[in-house]
Structure 1
Amino acid sequence: MSREESLPASVKGRVLSRHLVQQSGALCLHYYIKTAQGPVLVKVPNAEFLCFCATSSVDKLLSSPGLGYVRTKALTLQNFESQSVTALYCQSRQNYRNLTRAGVDLGIPLYESDVRPEHRYLIERFIALDVEFSGEFISTPSTDALPVFMAERARKAELDISLNAISLDFECSFDGELYSVGLYGMSGEQPYEKVIMVGDASAITQSATPETDEKSKAAAYVEWVQDERALILALVEWFNDYDPDIIIGWAVVTFDLALLFRRAEKLGIKLPIGRGGEQLSWKVADKFRPESLSLPGRVVLDGIDWLKAAFYRFDSFSLESVSRTLLDEGKAIHSVEHRVDEIAQLFAHDKLALAHYNLTDSRLVWDIFNHTELFEFAIERSKLTGLELGRVGASVAAFNNLYLPHLHRAGFVAPAMATSQGLESPGGYVMDSIPGLYQNIIVLDFKSLYPSIIRTFLIDPKGLVQGLSLPDSDTVAGFRGGRFSRDNPILPQLIKTLSEHRELAKKESNAPLSQAIKIIMNSLYGVLGSRGCVFHDARLASSITLRGHEIMKQTKVWIEECGYKVIYGDTDSTFVWLGNDPLEVDADTAAKGLVEMVNTHWRERLLSSMNIECFLELEYESHYEQFFMPTLRGSTEGSKKRYVGAYTQQSGELKLVFKGMEQVRSDWSPIARRVQESLYYRLFSKQDVKLFLQSIVEELLSGKLDSELIFSKKLRRDISDYKAKSSPHVKAAQIQYELSGNTSLSKRGAQIDYLMTVNGAEPVEYRKSNIDYQYYIERQLGPIADPILTILGESFSSMNSNQLTLI
């Protein structure tokens, strides 16, 4: 029996990458999948570009000169204007470009023209990550080559296939010449460690540099190569041997892979590090971004992007900062700030120490991914949305993936563009606060408020189109003229399914899945409110946000009818003051009673007034024993989205929670954030505030706190792109760039550490002027001290002149 005859007629796997390939005048879909037996390339022949056009416009469109062959098919589908539509198919990229250009020139809308064939094939079959293809294997050049499967059909599957990953990190000279590459992963239960290093092993053995445990271990995992060319070739061979499914790193696309590509190009070396010997390439020349990367058969996950996608927040997303915060461990180097120079020194004089540093960086990224469960989060997100594994952002694409197949089965195609009609939806409800110092504040939150509103009030793009032509009795009223059909709405059903899956994930303690669902559910409103989404309609978004306003206002009324005071409300949270006497009322009992009352009122109200089932659910979020709501600066009016709360932990320690204050903002100096936390701790602990402030100012003026005066801020664009250079960090960056000659310090993303001096902002490394201590007193300490001093009948300016005798 031949190899091909012994293989099954179906193959199941996890989709790693998707491609549309044009060969010999025909389009073919390529899916690189990971099966239980290994990687397979699946080919789906006879692919076509597809879009839709109103049937009444087809003849005019196709009469446009130079189109080429366009296949048409009459459908029972219609657009949102209730016109019948025809499917248009093209068998080449050029024909499709000609077709879409003709549509624009003639003003004829083409529906769903931006959905690529390799994605449409999967989403129309409700396939996200796991798939089963039916067809047959075809012969391959050798038993070592990637197996190729020619598919005839595909269907959704549920699989548990593990993917092997590697953490990759390059070290290089100032001008980009490669020194080494660190590779870290797991081989079974044991760590996999490898560094490919330019150098001579015999010279290292004879080195007089002292040995350490780290260097002794490094000698075992270093592969020595002659030069940079040999390093790149050895890495290509390594990819062929180790064959990872996933590559992770820190800025791994924009730095490491981009650097590898540029150095290989400079040396005239090809990079066949994709599956089946496919080349690493970029879809747009010189645009080294994740969306333009092409690496067939492999997934690339950047640690920074995925932490942000999972809603992690850090003052700095540098590897040093994040690893210190999450792992309590940092880079294996003496000076992170001067690491470029130190790396060069290590390469010249202590390559084993450099290897240890290189591998440590790779391991730190791996440990961060494990600690935050980013591997699992990325997989669950792809399973839920149908987005390519590794694609971050793309909330609009995720919405389309979820919505379009249901919309087609309901008889509609998506609109060609967003509808606004000159109206825009307001944001979330934010109540005017009642400033002051309180005891016994409880916070009541509506669980997933916007998704719950969508589900309860049947808010749905298809439902809006249908509802506008139905009698009022057959619809649920929205806002700004919106009315929604009660008949099989799509979006509320998707919310229902996601909600049920999230509850199951919580019961099973599947945190990555629960978080992925939460983020997706909360993004649905944002998508409908975005002009970048073709389903955007102000009547949709307003029917969500204005309903939220109504719910928050009515909830406040019901709570205050119980004798309590609502001092603030924000989007989905209500802050209730129970009174300053903790013995008068039990906070937990009162909160649970209010939750039950409000939820019952909403269920009864919506059933009786609108005949709909209520999915709004108020929850008891937290209890602050002490709470401070500040005023706006220079005003008696209460602030919004800014407060400090305190509660006693089980250990007996007082825990402070800051919202919107300088404490949680990275653009304030470390001294301001530390002093603010200390001030509120003293306020809530009934300790002396004024004496503390006096001691801080005295230490500041004596120069003892200089290390806490450094501002750190990143450039959001290249220095040359800033029209005005008045921002302190931009001025400091310009000085640093000019004096150092380091062009990287003038580029977007460069972190600038600077101090405010008597001559303005100056970079820390090149400061020539005296520190302007008065600036820190007036601009940093004053604004954070005044809200507290006001409660005590003082002001920072009066203390400044009367008690602290500041100059």
Structure 2
Amino acid sequence: EQVDAYKITCYDPSDTQKLHRLFEKFGRCYEFDIPYVRRFLIDSGVRVFSTIEYEELDDTFIEIKQCIDEISRLNMLSFDIETYNPAGVPRPKVDPAVMISYADGTRAGVITYGASHNAHVIKVQDEKEMIERFCGLVREKDADVLFGYNSSDFDLPYLRDRAHALRASLALGRDNTGFTLRRQAFFSSASVQGRLHIDVFHMIRFLATIGALKTNTYTLGEVYREVFGDTKKQVNKMDIWKMWNVNEERERLIEYSMDDAYTTHRLGAKFLPIFVELARIASTTVEDAVSSTTGQLVDYVLLKEAHARNIIAPNRPRESELLSREDEPIEGAYVKVPTPGIYKDIIVFDFRSLYPSIIVAHNISPETLNCSDCTKEEAYVSPDGTRFCSKRRGIIPEVLSRILKHRSALKKQLKSLDKDSEEYAYAYARQYAFKILANTFYGMLRNVRARWYCRECAAATTAWERFYIKDVISKAEKEGFTVLYADTDSLFIELGRKTEKEALSFVDKINKSLPEGMELELEDYYTRGIFVSKKSDSVGAKKKYALLSRSGSIKIRGFELVRRDWSQIAGDTQRRVLETILKDGSLDKALQIVNSVVQDLRDKKVPKEKLVIYTLLRKGLDEYKSISPEVSAALKARKRGKEVDEGMMIGYIITEKGKGISDKAELEEFVEEGDYDADYYINNQVLPAVESILGELGYGSDLLKAGKKQQGLGDWL
């Protein structure tokens, strides 16, 4: 609707909130909560990592003429510190930093005051000189980007405290200042004046949250192995102070520290282009893109579009609005659960970007909802009866449409580029950024805290999803196909006597009947697949299956091996059992694997790193009402002097010492090799992990322990 409104511009950003409180007495204020930097980027059209052409007169800025995106060549420097820690957890007031490692993409080195024969060491007299020499190195390298791993919460604050204690200068910025620290929900974000400080840990957290990385923990070594398939040097961090005191061990510590800097640089350089593109699209800074959620980034994109359209953006909900929104849940996506078992010749089809394409095809947006511009016959009417305008393009479908078109064009461009070229890396990062944003719009519509929340829009989107997936299932069954499983946007079809050609012909007919922009496409062909039942139920489980593709790769969803709240020994055993059944079709080999692992556990042959169970502390330790194993382990660690806070990922082991399971739990770093409760890992980890698979072949946990067989794999195939 058209409104009369006053636009108020402040010369000092801090006056915005003061004026908001003043004018709220006379009417509702809008867009008062947009930070100054983001407001400037939205209003001016300036984008990060771009060349700006502007007009000036007599050295006075007039206006920006254009902003051209470019692939910028940056001086990137990573760093890592090692600290003396005789008490376990380093104490910045008394425990010195003993070395600072660095890497610039071509070489790595270490600055330290400890004796060393390593040719990559820069030797200094003491800790104070080490800190100041590192700052000098940052200036010498003219670093545009500083990468660290957990550097906002550890390395930089520790260096600041040590510099203060030593009266040293921590001049990291281009203006010779230090850094500023901004505290957020579960972490801090550090900024260095004139340089881009990127905490790679925050990058990894972002990518893991959206499912782009499948890692059990966020440790540097685990992430590096997941991303590059390679391992990095490791040491026992509790022994760093001991290593520092012994010449040979100090040399190993230097190599480990340099490897930390190298792996941090490699990870940062790989993922930085994605966040640069996200920042450009969302009109925000790269540091903000790294520390934001996907929902916040979409909010920024829509704020930019609203400004371009002269639309006043809605406010975030007040507390009273939140409560009413939370009382209005919507019906979710349709799922056809599978019949548990093992199947052959499975073909899987996916709707390409289903929710985004539904929103675009049916013009779903808050301002097109139940509009007066078109009749019911002219409007898009969802299966739940909600109407959307067919004449006036909504802000959300307009933005989404552009995002989808840009991504499609970039994916086509990738096919013509050398995969090892900079152009390929840049284009891949851009299309991946578009993918991240496109897949967030639906979640934003149903997020009760979102500025652009619209229950009717979200409900209509899922109503159309249920309509399309059910329609395809019905048509497939009429054509003689067996639909094993369907979930949201995916369809799993058992070919049986049908051919692959007939299945592809069926999909072609479906696509001709879909609205423009919607498409059902082949995901892959699988020679064998396993679907399991729910725990303590004969009904098939959602999102829990394993498939062997024609190329020999295995796709696994929902099993313990891809969850961090199970130990590695459980996940590894489950993977090996799945691979054996899928690839070899051998039940006997699968049982031998289980028996061998059980025996190794009893013989105390399993290394402790395979027994660690990871979990995220979502609350402060004092807020937990019951003492679960992870809380018990964390409380014991805190008594030993280790800092354990809300938002931390911790890893614990169930040891032999103690009465109950919680009493036996200890953080991994305090556990000696061989000190684990074998019965716990057999009965609560390994057997439950494989029972869901072998149970479909007639093996329950009792039969597994006894080694008895009810029926073979041949009974299923």
TM-score band, normalised by shorter chain: 0.7 to 0.9
Q: Deviation per CA, 1:551-586: give whole Å up to 9, x if none.
A: 11111111111111212111211111212xxxx433
Q: Which residue of 477, 481, 484 maps to 2:381?
A: 477
Q: Deviations over 1:638-674 (max 9, x none)?
A: 111111112343xxxx543221011212222233222
Aligned residue runs from structure 1 range 215-294, under 5 A: 215=118, 217-218=119-120, 222-269=121-168, 271-283=170-182, 289-291=187-189, 293-294=190-191
The question of whether the paired residues in 2 share the 8 Å contact of 1:195 and 1:223 is answered with yes
Paired with 2:328 and 2:535, the residues of 1 have a C-alpha distance of 33
Aligned to 1:438: 343
Match of 1:779 in 2: 684
Q: Which residue of 2 aligns with 1:384?
A: 281
The amino acid across from 1:585 in the alignment is K
Deviation at 1:480? 6.3
- Deviation (angstroms), 1:122: 2.2
In structure 2, how many angstroms separate the alpha carbons of the residues matched to 1:307 and 1:321? Answer: 11
The one-letter code sitting in structure 2 at the alignment partner of 1:643 is: Y
Query: Which residue of 1 is the match for residue 28 of structure 2?
Result: 109
Shift in Å, 1:799: 4.5
AA partner of residue 569 (structure 1)? A
Unaligned runs of 5+ in 2: 86-90, 415-426, 710-717
In the alignment, the residues of structure 2 paired with residue 674 and residue 577 of structure 1 have an alpha-carbon distance, to the nearest angstrom, of 28
Change (3 A) 1:325 1:564: same
Q: Between Structure 1 and Structure 2, whose CA radius of gyration is higher? A: 1
Distance 2:342 2:33 in 1: 54
1:712 maps to what in 2?
Answer: 613
Q: What letter corresponds to residue 222 of structure 2 in structure 1?
A: S
Residue 429 (structure 1) shift: 2.9
Q: Is the 8 A contact 2:282 2:304 kept in 1?
A: no
Q: Which residues of 2 match residues 165-180 of structure 1 at below 5 A?
A: 165-174=76-85, 175-176=91-92, 177-180=96-99
**Contact (CA 8 Å) 2:186, 2:646: kept in 1 or not?**
no
Contact 1:729 1:754 in 2 (8 A): no
Post-superposition offset of 1:791: 3.5
The correspondence for 1:164, drawn from 75, 79, 90, is 75
Aligned match of 1:795 in 689, 693, 700? 700
What residue number does 2:421 align with? none
Tell me the equivalent position of 1:315.
216
From the superposition, tell whether residues 244 and 719 of structure 1 become closer, same or farther in structure 2 (CA, over 3 Å): same
Corresponding residue number in structure 2 for 1:183? 102
**Higher alpha-carbon deviation: 238-247 or 638-647:** 238-247
Structure 1 residue aligned with 2:627:
726
Sort the Cα spacing of 1:536 and 1:270 in 2 relative to 1 into closer, same or farther, 3 A. Answer: farther
258-267 or 698-707, larger mean C-alpha shift? 698-707
C-alpha contact (below 8 Å) 1:369/1:375 kept by paired residues: yes
1:206-605 aligned within 5 A: 215=118, 217-218=119-120, 222-269=121-168, 271-283=170-182, 289-291=187-189, 293-310=190-207, 311-327=212-228, 329-333=230-234, 335-345=235-245, 353-370=252-269, 373-391=270-288, 392=290, 393-418=292-317, 423-464=328-369, 467=371, 470-478=374-382, 479=384, 481-509=386-414, 510-579=427-496, 584-587=497-500, 589-603=501-515
| Distance in 2 of aligned mates of 1:193 and 1:794 | 54
TM-score normalised over the length of structure 1: 0.75
Aligned residue pairs: how many?
666
Q: 1:138 to 1:323 in 2, by over 3 A?
A: farther
Change (3 A) 1:247 1:777: same
The CA distance in 1 between the partners of 2:251 and 2:655, in whole Å, is 41
Q: Which amino acid aligns with 1:97?
A: Q
Counterpart in 2 of 1:735? 636
Change (3 A) 1:586 1:720: same
**Separation in 2, partners of 1:179, 1:693:** 46
How far has the Cα of 1:390 moved from its partner?
A: 2.7
Mapping of 1:603-614 within 5 angstroms?
Answer: 603=515, 614=516
Cα distance in 2 for partners of 1:355, 1:776 equals: 36
For the 8 Å contact 2:533–2:541, the answer to whether it is kept is yes
User: Distance between the aligned counterparts of 2:21 and 2:180, measured in 1?
Assistant: 27
Over 3 Å counting, the alpha-carbon distance change for 1:83 and 1:783 in structure 2 is same
**Cα deviation per residue 1:226-247 (whole Å; 9 max; x = unaligned)?**
3222223333333333321111
Runs of 5+ unmatched residues, structure 1: 1-79, 140-148, 604-613
| Residues 579-625 of structure 1: CA deviation (Å, up to 9, x unaligned) | 2xxxx4333x233222212111224xxxxxxxxxx211111001221
Aligned 8 A contact 2:379 2:388 in 1: yes
Conserved? CA contact 1:480–1:539, under 8 Å: no
- Partner letter of residue 126 of structure 1? G
| CA distance in 2: counterparts of 1:493 and 1:448, whole angstroms | 15
Query: CA 1:225 to 1:450, structure 2 compared with 1: closer, same or farther past 3 Å?
Result: same
> Which residue does 2:572 correspond to in 1?
674
Residue identity opposite 1:471 in structure 2: T
Partners of 2:214 and 2:704 in 1: CA distance: 36
Aligned residues: CA RMSD? 3.2
The separation in 2 between residues aligned to 1:768 and 1:336, in whole angstroms, is: 13
Q: Is the 8 A contact 2:633 2:665 kept in 1?
A: yes
Q: CA deviation at 1:351?
A: 5.4
Are the equivalent residues in 1 in contact too, given 2:217–2:649 (CA < 8 A)? no
Measured at CA, do residues 277 and 133 of structure 1 come closer, stay the same or move farther in structure 2, by a change above 3 Å? farther
- Worse-matched range after superposition: 88-97 or 632-641: 88-97
1:252–1:302 CA contact under 8 A, matched in 2: yes
1:645 match: 547
Amino acid across the alignment from 1:477: V
Q: Residues 454 and 544 of structure 1 are in contact (CA less than 8 Å); yes or no, is this contact kept in structure 2?
A: yes
Further displaced range: 779-788 or 769-778:
769-778
1:716 deviates by 1.7
CA distance in 2, matches of 1:549, 1:623: 24
Contact 1:699 1:705 in 2 (8 A): yes
State the distance in 2 between where 1:733 and 1:575 align.
Answer: 43
Shift, 1:712, TM fit? 2.9
Per the TM alignment, residue 83 of structure 1 is displaced from its structure 2 partner at its CA by 3.1
Deviation at 1:131, TM superposition (A): 4.6
The residue type paired with residue 97 of structure 2 is L
- Gap change, CA 1:708 and 1:353, over 3 Å in 2: closer
**Are residues 1:195 and 2:110 paired?**
yes
By how many angstroms is 1:694 displaced? 4.1
Structure 1 residue 350: Cα displacement: 6.4
2:451 match: secondary structure: coil
**Aligned-partner Cα distance in 2 for 1:720–1:406:** 43
Query: Which digits, 9 at most, give the CA deviation of each residue in 1:257-281, with x for residues without a partner?
Result: 2222232333445544223334422
Distance 1:276 1:351, change over 3 A: same
Contact kept? 1:407, 1:462, Cα under 8 Å: no
Q: Using the TM superposition, name which of 399-408 and 515-524 deviates more.
A: 399-408
Contact between 2:299 and 2:452, CA under 8 Å: does it hold in 1? no
The secondary structure found in structure 2 opposite 1:733 is: helix
Distance 1:377 1:756, change over 3 A: same
Hey, what's the Cα distance between the residues in 2 that align with 1:436 and 1:797? Answer: 20
Letter in 2 for 1:571: T
Amino acid corresponding to residue 262 of structure 1 in structure 2 = D
